[in-house]
Chain A
Amino acid sequence: MKFILFWAMMAGLLFAGTVSAENNKTLQQLKKDTVIISAEIAQLEAQLFYPKNQQLALHFAVNTGHSFRISELKVLLDNNELINKQYTARQTAALERGGVDKFYVGVLPAGEHKLVAFITGTDNFGLPVKRALTHKFTKDNQAYSVLLSAEQPKNLSYAVLDLVKL
């Protein structure tokens, strides 16, 4: 019986998934501080290379329930392709659950600009859907941050593409 019970001990390891590291306060503190360093580096990078007064930040969200599933997002800035992003099933699901994708951050000189966004996906019948939007804006000496979103207005049966300045 003793030998067989050895398998009982083994069972937990083999079939219960990953093993957590030993409960060590030093290790826990190390992990906690390292996560903060990771955030500090991200903050530092933004501060050094994308200063607030020159920054352009673009986000994307989906608020359509199941009436639209995004597969591709394309953005042109001043007639040049800025981004062409294919969304994976996992990313699409994360957007549907309320996540926001910050898909671009960069610097942009002040002045008049034109942003054209295209989204491609499917509706709840699996039929292809394409929407586009043109947004002309003047970048001043402040950060310019926008949220593009696929929306499902209450009075419409189809999704639309919307843009909000943040």
Chain B
Amino acid sequence: MKMTIRPLLRAMRMAKLAAVALLSSTYLPASYANNIAAEPEQNILQREAQFYYHQGDYLHALTTLEHAKLNGERLSAKTKLLHAGLVLHFDFDDNASEIFTRYFNQQSAAKQLPGAYRDYVFFVLMQGFYQQGNLDKAQQAHDMIGEDLSPEYSDEFYYLSAQLALALENDEQLARAKKHISANSIKHRYLAFNHAMKALAQQDSDTALALLSVSAATEEEELANLAYRGNMDINSLSFNDELNAIIDRSYLAKAYIYSDLKRYDEAMASFKQVRLNGMDTESAMLGMGKVAYFQNDLNSALAIWQQLTQRDSVSSYVNEGYMLSAYALERLGKAEHAYSAYQNAIQHFSNTQNLLTAELSRLNKPGYLSSLLENNSENFLDVGKITLRLPKGIDNYAQVASSEFQRSLAALKQTEGLRLQLAAWQLQLLAMAQRYYADPSITLESLSASELKLAEQLLVREQNKLKNINIINSRAKLLMGNYFSQDSLIGEQEGLLSAYKRYQTLETALKTIDTKHTDYPILRERLNRVAGGLIWHIGDYYLTAEMLAAKHNLLAQQQYVLELKDRDPQLLTKQLAKIDQQLLLAEKHYQTVLVRVTAQFEDLLVSQLNDLKHYITHAELAMVRLRDDSTLDNSPAITKLNEKVLP
């Protein structure tokens, strides 16, 4: 018995091997080859997404992955992680968190990924989690990043690592990050500033001041003695807006801390370092005047505040400047000048009131608020930097800068981005319909009513093309005899003959297998298919190139006509309806967010108007008092005014 089974098994193995060899032969029908190629093609689409991903074109990467999913492809574990990073980046929850946790719990799986790929994927995840405020997960992603992150992301990574360390109070990580941020990177300053703010929140003024000295430093000798400098170097500084802004902000913060600590000389020195044409100039001037006031130098305080009122601005700093300069004149005993200064202040406040009231009335006009938003997003999912072009008259600090207001603006801007994109896709779809049906007269309105007819016309056109090819083909068949006689059956037929030889080997092997064996029918069937393939290709071999092309064009057209018959004749209409529906939802959400942002904006204006009303009341009271020649310092109105305007 053993003697009979062994050859049978060997023959079966041989038959299977031969079948595999033959099936992968290039002489087999293309459909076989397609089945074999299916797997690498799937990888190609996912690698295509990686091409965009590694360029930072996350929207394209995400769309390509969704396209792959629509094609029924299964994303590999590696690609799923990449996908998770993308949805986190765009701030919409899928199951990114779960995928990450699964990977994190199976660290060995992550270790199998190529180093550079793994580090970048976890870097994107870390950014996404940090952006969402999920610091623990951001730290976990951070810990998965090894030594293979591309150097171009190094500064960003270590800055984020330091920010995380600050938030999670991990001094060791903070020190390590500082060592690795490029010596001349501005991120050292941002980090020192943010660290200072954290120290300040913990009532640690000394540390805050030391850190602010780092973020403000402009000379190497200043830096030499400073703690917290990390790897920072300031040789060959090039002063741009960004650098100037952080230096100003650092000096301003230092000045206010010194002022709070009653170290007035140091406060004054720091205020003086703030530029005269920066974002913080008005705040610095107001503070400087207050420090002079605290030092009992009323004349200097007056001069500074008067200078502040000369600025063409309606910020709260300038408003305070108006009140304080009038008050200083009053304190200096210059009643007449003080009276006229209060009059000026009232005039200024009234002008600002008019501006704000006009703004309030414009606020509910359609599209007004969105017209103030600057659209610098790269794509419809990207929030970009939120810029609200504030009209003159609006104090742009406080509420506008608040996290709540900024997040609402981001939502507004993003929803607007969605609306714009969907509207653009409507037009794209229209262009596609016009091109596909070769009819430029189609409009968005007419498409849904006419697509059935258009699809029918297209099918008839393509069927006619098929008929024409059939005519050519049948004429060509008459000439077939010539083609056979012209062929010498040498040269390129070798491959074909070799495939035929392998087929014969397979036939022989199959004959040695018992026909009752369970595998026999399967092997028989496969061999028949192989034979079919060979016959097909032998047929092709005897055709000339032109005839072969004619045959394939005919088959392609046949397939296309069949596909058209099966194709939904309202494909574009349905896609358009989907876009319309989504546009409707986006529009609805936009209105909801708009109402909320408008209300916040309205609150902001009303609160500014209330402040102005308050100032006007007190200025008027002061004027009455000055007219009545009352005592300057003891009146309840002045006491109230002191509470309001003086620190």
* Residues B48 and A100 in contact, CB atoms below 8 Å apart: yes
B37 contacts partner chain A, Cβ-Cβ < 8 Å: yes
Residue of B nearest to A38 (CB): B63
Chain B interface mostly: helix
With A19-B386, A97-B116 as known contacts, state yes or no: A38 contacts B44, CB within 8 Å: no
* Residues B50 and A51 in contact, CB atoms below 8 Å apart: no
Q: Which of the candidate stretches A22-30, A73-81, A117-125, A126-134 sits at the interface with the other chain?
A: A22-30
B407 contacts partner chain A, Cβ-Cβ < 8 Å: yes
Q: In the docked arrangement, what's the CA distance between A91 and B256, Å?
A: 48
Interfacial chain B residues near A12, Cβ < 8 Å: 194, 403
Within 8 A of B (CB), among A85-111: 90-91, 93-95, 97-102, 109-111
Q: In the docked arrangement, what's the CA distance between A21 and B373, Å?
A: 15
* Residues A4 and B200 in contact, CB atoms below 8 Å apart: yes
Interfacial chain B residues near A26, Cβ < 8 Å: 589, 592
Within 8 A of A (CB), among B182-240: 190, 193-194, 197-198, 200-201, 203
Within 8 A of B (CB), among A33-75: 33-45, 47-49, 51, 53-54, 59, 61
Q: Which of the candidate stretches B90-98, B270-278, B334-342, B345-353 sits at the interface with the other chain?
A: B90-98
With A53-B556, A54-B560, A99-B50 as known contacts, state yes or no: A9 contacts B575, CB within 8 Å: no
* Residues A93 and B385 in contact, CB atoms below 8 Å apart: no
Q: Which of A4, A8, A35, A99 contacts B260 (CB 8 A)?
A: A4
With A11-B194, A21-B383 as known contacts, state yes or no: A43 contacts B54, CB within 8 Å: no
Interfacial chain B residues near A94, Cβ < 8 Å: 50-55
A154 contacts partner chain B, Cβ-Cβ < 8 Å: no
* Residues A7 and B66 in contact, CB atoms below 8 Å apart: no
Interfacial chain A residues near B585, Cβ < 8 Å: 30, 33
Q: Which of A13, A16, A24, A39 contacts B411 (CB 8 A)?
A: A24
Interfacial chain B residues near A90, Cβ < 8 Å: 55-56
Once A and B bind, how many residue pairs between them come within 8 Å at the CB atom?
A: 264
* Residues A35 and B62 in contact, CB atoms below 8 Å apart: yes
With A18-B385, A24-B411, A94-B55 as known contacts, state yes or no: A44 contacts B575, CB within 8 Å: yes
* Residues B48 and A31 in contact, CB atoms below 8 Å apart: no
With A94-B51, A97-B120 as known contacts, state yes or no: A30 contacts B415, CB within 8 Å: yes
Q: In the docked arrangement, what's the CA distance between A119 and B31, Å?
A: 31
* Residues B70 and A40 in contact, CB atoms below 8 Å apart: yes
With A8-B201, A43-B67, A44-B575 as known contacts, state yes or no: A142 contacts B31, CB within 8 Å: yes
The smallest beta-carbon distance between B428 and chain A, in angstroms, is: 7
B408 contacts partner chain A, Cβ-Cβ < 8 Å: yes
Within 8 A of A (CB), among B371-395: 380-381, 383-386
The smallest beta-carbon distance between A103 and chain B, in angstroms, is: 10
B103 contacts partner chain A, Cβ-Cβ < 8 Å: no
Within 8 A of A (CB), among B35-75: 37, 40-41, 44, 47-48, 50-56, 59, 62-64, 66-67, 69-71
Interfacial chain A residues near B582, Cβ < 8 Å: 30, 33-34, 37
Q: In the docked arrangement, what's the CA distance between A146 and B553, Å?
A: 20
* Residues A51 and B560 in contact, CB atoms below 8 Å apart: yes
Chain A interface mostly: helix
* Residues B414 and A7 in contact, CB atoms below 8 Å apart: no
A156 contacts partner chain B, Cβ-Cβ < 8 Å: no
The smallest beta-carbon distance between B13 and chain A, in angstroms, is: 29
Interfacial chain A residues near B247, Cβ < 8 Å: none
The smallest beta-carbon distance between B602 and chain A, in angstroms, is: 18
The smallest beta-carbon distance between B324 and chain A, in angstroms, is: 15
Q: Which of the candidate stretches B294-302, B417-425, B445-453, B525-533 sits at the interface with the other chain?
A: B417-425
The smallest beta-carbon distance between B619 and chain A, in angstroms, is: 23
* Residues A4 and B256 in contact, CB atoms below 8 Å apart: yes
Q: In the docked arrangement, what's the CA distance between A52 and B64, Å?
A: 18
* Residues A61 and B47 in contact, CB atoms below 8 Å apart: yes
Interface string of B244-267 (1 = CB under 8 A from A): 001001001100110010000000
B647 contacts partner chain A, Cβ-Cβ < 8 Å: yes
The smallest beta-carbon distance between B80 and chain A, in angstroms, is: 16
Q: Which of A7, A18, A28, A44 contacts B253 (CB 8 A)?
A: A7
B410 contacts partner chain A, Cβ-Cβ < 8 Å: yes
Q: Which of A48, A141, A165 contacts B436 (CB 8 A)?
A: A48
Q: In the docked arrangement, what's the CA distance between A14 and B30, Å?
A: 59
Q: In the docked arrangement, what's the CA distance between A30 and B418, Å?
A: 8
Within 8 A of A (CB), among B110-148: 114, 116-117, 120, 131-132
Q: Which of A9, A14, A30, A48 contacts B589 (CB 8 A)?
A: A30
Q: In the docked arrangement, what's the CA distance between A132 and B287, Å?
A: 70
* Residues B190 and A15 in contact, CB atoms below 8 Å apart: yes
The smallest beta-carbon distance between B291 and chain A, in angstroms, is: 13
Q: Which of A13, A23, A100 contacts B44 (CB 8 A)?
A: A100
The smallest beta-carbon distance between A149 and chain B, in angstroms, is: 11
Interface string of B526-550 (1 = CB under 8 A from A): 0000000000000000000110110
Q: Which of A3, A13, A30 contacts B586 (CB 8 A)?
A: A30
* Residues A49 and B435 in contact, CB atoms below 8 Å apart: yes
Interface string of B565-590 (1 = CB under 8 A from A): 00000011001001100100110010
Q: Which of B94, B116, B131, B246 contacts A15 (CB 8 A)?
A: B246
Please list the residues of chain B having a beta carbon within 8 angstroms of any beta carbon in chain A.
30-31, 33-34, 37, 40-41, 44, 47-48, 50-56, 59, 62-64, 66-67, 69-71, 87, 90-94, 114, 116-117, 120, 131-132, 150, 152, 163, 190, 193-194, 197-198, 200-201, 203, 246, 249, 252-253, 256-257, 260, 380-381, 383-386, 398, 401-403, 406-411, 413-415, 418, 421-422, 425, 428-429, 432, 435-436, 545-546, 548-549, 551-553, 555-556, 559-560, 563, 571-572, 575, 578-579, 582, 585-586, 589, 592-593, 647
Please list the residues of chain A having a beta carbon within 8 angstroms of any beta carbon in chain B.
1, 3-24, 26-45, 47-49, 51, 53-54, 59, 61, 90-91, 93-95, 97-102, 109-112, 138-142, 145, 147, 164-166
Given A38-B66, A93-B150, A141-B30, 6 new contacts (CB under 8 A): A7-B200, A19-B407, A33-B585, A53-B560, A54-B560, A111-B545
Task: Name 10 interchain pairs, CB-CB below 8 A, sorted by A.
Answer: A12-B403, A15-B190, A20-B410, A21-B407, A31-B381, A32-B94, A38-B421, A91-B51, A97-B150, A101-B51
